[in-house]
Amino acid sequence: MTAEIIDGKALAATVREKVAGQVARLKENHQITPGLAVVLVGEDPASQVYVRSKGKQTVETGMNSYEHKLEADTPEADLLALIDTLNNDPEVHGILVQLPLPGHLDEDLVINSISPEKDVDGFHVSNVGRLGTGQKSMVPCTPLGCLMMLREHHGRLSGMDAVVIGRSNIVGKPMAQLLLGDSCTVTIAHSRTRDLPGTVRRADIVVAAVGRPQMVPGDWIKPGATVIDVGINRIAAPERGVNEDGSPKSRLVGDVDFESAAAVAGAITPVPGGVGPMTIACLLANTVTACCRANGLDEPEGLTA
């Protein structure tokens, strides 16, 4: 069997189109332009790339993008003061503080100082609790993107056996909550799971969010299962030649061994081009959802969980 490829790039483009349509509707009918504020502290190169990409896509969908770049040694009080200003700014509907933060800043404190209604990353403890109790919340972007891909592929997920590998607050745990919300039978596996291969083999849906290159081989996958690979890992790829400094070129791989898994699975997401593009698309979707809620308007169908 050769798995169907779940094209995250294409679905992300569809989500962005939907977002752009909603932005146009908000502008035309209500004279409101959704706005997303992104706060970057320090100069982490990967974070800079993410922030640039988020800002670009925000503008492309017709929204306002506000970027706040702070020095790496910014005192916590200054960051909290900026968040307070953004919380009270009616032009700002979504606030995202790019993680990781420099070590002297308390990540939990910072995230929980964002107004939950503007917390488009869905990391505020109030949104975590709301998701866990089935109330309307802001849903973390990466798991929301995974859920959208699963719904797109399967329609209803009710009754399916799902295994989420990884129990992080930003991917594994919210992913499990979302699958439970769609009536899957959910197992969360992690580094202490006794029989990981056996656990994964029972799953109709496997979501791998570990951060270990190609750790899930095809012979762990139940024939016909759907595999969502969240992992983004850079590995050396000497077959691609060498860089100017003589080091081998590299490439991105997921947490799943794509070749062997694709030979067994019914459907699988590639890396790159799977979950990654959906994450930013869902950030834009969350911003529109937050804007509609803030203005007492009906929120668009299909852009949240």
Q: Looking at beta carbons, which residue is closest to ligand NAD? A: 168
| Binding footprint of ligand NAD on the chain (CB under 6 A) | 142, 165-168, 170-172, 189-191, 193, 196, 209-212, 230-233, 275-276, 279
Shortest reach from residue 274's CB to ligand NAD, in Å: 7
Q: How far apart are CA 182 and CA 237, in angstroms?
A: 39
CB of 108 to ligand NAD, least distance (A): 14
For the question of residue 161 being annotated catalytic, the response is no
Closest to ligand NAD by CB, 22 or 214 = 214
Any alpha helices (H) in the chain, and if so which ranges?
8-30, 45-60, 76-87, 107-111, 125-132, 141-154, 172-181, 196-201, 258-262, 275-294
What is the C-alpha separation between 227 and 230, in angstroms, rounded?
A: 10
In the complex, the smallest distance separating the C-beta of residue 272 from ligand NAD, rounded to whole angstroms, is 9
Coil vs helix vs strand at 20: helix
Q: Under a CB-based contact definition with an 8 Å cutoff, are residues 173 and 167 in contact?
A: yes
Q: Which is nearer to ligand NAD, 13 or 242 (CB)?
A: 13
CB atoms within 10 A of CB 185: 16
Other C-beta atoms within 10 Å of 64: how many?
Answer: 16
Please pick, among 22, 119, 121, 177, the residue that the annotation labels catalytic: 121
Choice between 64 and 233, CB closer to ligand NAD: 233
The arrangement of strands across the sheet holding 94-97 comes to 64-70, 35-41, 94-97
Task: Check 18, 22, 54, 255 and give the catalytic one.
Answer: 54
DSSP label of 138: P
Please, which residue, 3 or 50, has the CB nearer to ligand NAD? 50
Is position 57 annotated as part of the catalytic site? no
One of 18, 22, 57, 98 is an active-site residue; which one?
98
Q: Quick one: 210 or 221, whose CB is closer to ligand NAD?
A: 210
Q: Is 54 a catalytic residue?
A: yes
Residue 209 CB, nearest distance to ligand NAD (Å)? 4
Asked if residue 254 lies in contact with residue 208, where contact means CB atoms within 8 angstroms, the answer is yes
Read off φ and ψ for residue 148, nearest 5 degrees: -60, -40
Nearest approach, Cβ of residue 142 and ligand NAD (Å): 4
DSSP strand pairing (250-253 vs 233-236)? antiparallel
* Residues assigned a catalytic role: 54, 98, 121
